[in-house]
Each structure stands twice: as C-alpha cells, then as structure tokens.
Amino acid sequence: MIITEVFYGIACNRCGEICDDGEHSFWNDESGAEENAMNYDWIEEKGKHYCLNCYEYDEDADKNIIYPDYPQHLKDLNKFLKTILGYSHETKESEEFFVVSKSLHNRISLDSYEVSYIKGLLGENLVSIEYQKHPRYSRNECIITIKK
C-alpha cells in the first residue's frame, strides 16, 4: 500500500538553512517544527523565521535585529552547492563580501562544469574560487568569495 504523509520543517527566510536538531529536520505538524526551532534559538518575526546566525538581540532596544536578506545570487549559489555537494557549507560575511566555504570530501577541486556554472550564476559578483587544505581535517575546501 502506498500512503502519502506531509512533513513540516522550518527554513531561515534569510539564509535558507533548515532547522535540524541533529536527529530531525521535519515534523508531523507545523507546531512541532516551530517548537523545535524555538528550542534552538530561532525566532519568528512577522511570519518569517530566522536562525541564530541571521539576527541579533539588541538589549538596549529590547528587540531582535534581523540582518538584511541574502542577495538572490548568494541564495542561488547556496542552493546549487547543497544540490551537488550536500548540506555542509558555511557562509561568512564581511562589509564587502560573502565567503562561502565548502569541504570537498574525496575531491581535490570542483569539476570544470561546476566552476563554469558558478561563474555563470554569479557573473560580475564572483571575486574568486580558491582551494585550500581544511585547517583541522585532511581534505580540501573550496572557498568562493562574492561581492555583496
């Protein structure tokens, strides 16, 4: 017998990260998904959800400060990396750039067609694609620097 079951998860409206408690990313109902996210310091503001990396609490004003949305080209890059290489990549931000780092398990570098796709996706927003040894593990990392 085939049955259909709907599951619910929470994704950050700014960066797209899915709330994952280490065992579960999806729940049988919306309230379970929201409760789990709130247990991990996610917030909900005006119907949108934000992970701990995408807001800060201003004690003086007694309110949450939501960081500006990621530009679409960064969201598209993150989606592409999740699709081809899996979920574990990190995005850091400075005043001028976003730096996306992705561990390359059992690979030295991205394939040429992957690099071509990224270059086409980011266009003039791409600053560089570089590779370096992971500081703690014996694998390479791909470091992609993007203009804000």
Out of 16, 45, 69, a domain closes at 69
Same-domain pairing of 141 and 77: yes
Written as tens digits, the pLDDT of the chain (148 aa) is 998 889 999 999 998 888 987 788 888 999 999 999 999 999 999 999 999 989 999 999 999 999 999 999 998 998 888 888 776 678 999 989 999 998 887 788 899 999 999 999 999 999 999 998 877 777 788 999 999 8
On whether both 65 and 76 belong to a single domain, the answer is no
Domains in the chain, number: 2
How far is residue 98's CA from residue 94's CA, in Å, rounded to a whole number?
6
* Domain carrying residue 107: 72-147
> Are residue 52 and residue 3 in the same domain, yes or no?
yes
Q: Are residues 49 and 92 part of one domain?
A: no
Same domain? 62 vs 93: no
Q: Do residue 108 and residue 51 come from a single domain?
A: no
Q: Does residue 88 sit in the same domain as residue 43?
A: no
Cβ-based neighbour number of residue 17 at 10 Å: 20
> Distance (Å, rounded) from C-alpha 90 to C-alpha 110?
16
Pair 45, 81 in one domain: no
For residue 105, what is the domain's CATH number?
3.30.70
Are residue 60 and residue 119 in the same domain, yes or no? no
Looking at the structure, do residues 65 and 86 belong to the same domain, yes or no?
no
